[in-house]
Structures are given as structure tokens and as C-alpha cells.
Amino acid sequence: MSEVRGGLDGREPTIVSLSINGRKRTVLIDLRTSLLDALRDHVGLTGTKKGCDHGQCGACTVHLNGQRALSCLLFAIMAEDGEVSTIEGLAGPGDELHPMQQAFIDHDGFQCGYCTSGQIMAAIACVAEGHAETDADIREYMSGNLCRCGCYPNVVAAIRQARNRMRGA
Ligand code: FES
Ligand code: FES
């Protein structure tokens, strides 16, 4: 009989291979570990934030295979065959900021910054998936990303700017 990874209850430390920001990373984890905890506690990528840890706030938003994903709701092993992108992977060569990062700076799209990684990752997906045509579309798509500092109008303005730059307009 083939061996069950992690044992029957998933608790046995198990090697999981992840591709994060184009780099292969191997972690030894309990298979019940969330992708968020794997990123923060096992890989050391703490840019992705934990707010609620149950899918309510958007602070943990990353991209999995180019689509936005709430990393607190995924087991790390669910990303084993995919490509994970986090805020740390956005800047280009020479630390040139992604247009969305620059737009958040230009429009004061943050105050304390705790929600900002998740906002930016969701905002990039918002543009990439074609949900940034109008302010109403942007607000609807971004409604899962909460900001206790109330930066919502500035976030919409930032997405508008980045949308045009991402399209080369
Ligand atoms: S930490 Fe994942 S949605 Fe809040
Ligand atoms: S900038 Fe403080 S929670 Fe959004």
C-alpha cells in the first residue's frame, strides 16, 4: 500500500516543494499548515500579512497561478504544483517598483500599511482580470480587502492610475 504523505492525520512533518516568486523553496511542514503560515513562518516572506486568518479581510492576498488567492484559506500543499507570487516578487530588476506599487505611493493608498500588501496583490488581479473599467467595478472587486485606516478612495485612484500604466496608456 502506498504511504500517505503526512501520515493518516497529516501531522507528520512532510517535505513540500513550492515555487514562490520564481524560486523553488522546500519546507518541512505539518500538512495542515496554511499557505500563509508557510510563507511567513517557514520561508520568511513576511510581506504577506495575517489579519483575520479566516478569509474575511484580504490582508493575506497572494497570486496562485496568476489569480488572486487568500493564502489563509489554502493549505500550502495545495500550491505545490503551482506558482505563488507575493508582494516581495513584484519589484523589477534594480528594485524598480511595479506600477501598482508606485500608484499606491503616488495616491497615498495606505496609512499604517498593514492591509497594503493584500490590497496591491488584489489590485493587480483586478486590472489583469478586467475588473477595473469603472470606479464601481474597482470597488466591487476590491470589496474583500478591508482597510481599517479607510484608504478606500485613494486605493481606487491608485488602481485607476496603474490600470492605465499597466496597459501602456
Ligand atoms: S488573513 Fe486571510 S483573509 Fe484575513
Ligand atoms: S492602511 Fe492601515 S489598514 Fe489599510
Query: Which residue(s) pair with 26 in the sheet?
Result: 17
| Protein residue with its CA nearest to atom 3 in ligand 1 | 55
| Ligand nearest to C-alpha 146 | 2
Q: Average of pLDDT values for 15-42?
A: 97
Mutation probe of ligand 1 site: the residue of 46, 48, 60, 119 with most atoms within 8 A of C-beta: 60
Phi, psi of 112 (to 5 degrees): -70, -25
Q: Average of pLDDT values for 114-131?
A: 98
Q: What is the reported pLDDT for 169?
A: 59
Q: Are 10 and 49 in contact (CB under 8 A)?
A: no
Cell 513584484 locates to 90
Mutation probe of ligand 2 site: the residue of 60, 104, 115 with most atoms within 8 A of C-beta: 115
Q: Is 75 helix (H, G, I), strand (E, B) or coil?
A: strand
Q: Is 155 helix (H, G, I), strand (E, B) or coil?
A: helix
The CA distance from 75 to 59, in Å, is 17
Share of the chain above pLDDT 70, in %: 98
- Residue 134 makes CB contacts below 8 A (sequence gap 6+) with none
The CA distance from 112 to 98, in Å, is 20
Q: Average of pLDDT values for 23-42?
A: 97
Q: What is the reported pLDDT for 9?
A: 79
| Ligand nearest to C-alpha 112 | 2
The CA distance from 62 to 1, in Å, is 37
